[in-house]
Amino acid sequence: MEIKPTEKEPIYAPKNKYGYKINVNHPVIRVLYDRYKKWKGIKMIPSDKERFEFEHYIEQLIQKRRNQK
């Protein structure tokens, strides 16, 4: 199964009361999110700390990709 991001699903989440920046419902991000939760042993909804750690991880990946171009 090939996953292709769509323009309809932005990578960044809209402003929200929780302060989350990454849209975990984006097709590509969802795969990374599920893999991250499995790697960390998170079975349910992650804590705020765990979610922010995931977002930091994604921001690092984005920055790394930008620097490669």
Q: List per-residue pLDDT tens for the chain, 69 residues long.
A: 444 555 577 899 989 899 999 999 999 999 999 999 999 999 999 999 999 999 999 999 989 988 886
| Ramachandran angles phi, psi of 12, nearest 5° | -90, 135
- Specify the pLDDT at position 5: 53
- Specify the pLDDT at position 68: 85
DSSP assignments along 5-46, one per residue? --TTS-SBPPP-TT---B-TTSHHHHHHHHHHHHHHT--SSP
- pTM, two decimals, is 0.80
Q: Alpha-carbon distance 51 to 24, whole Å?
A: 10
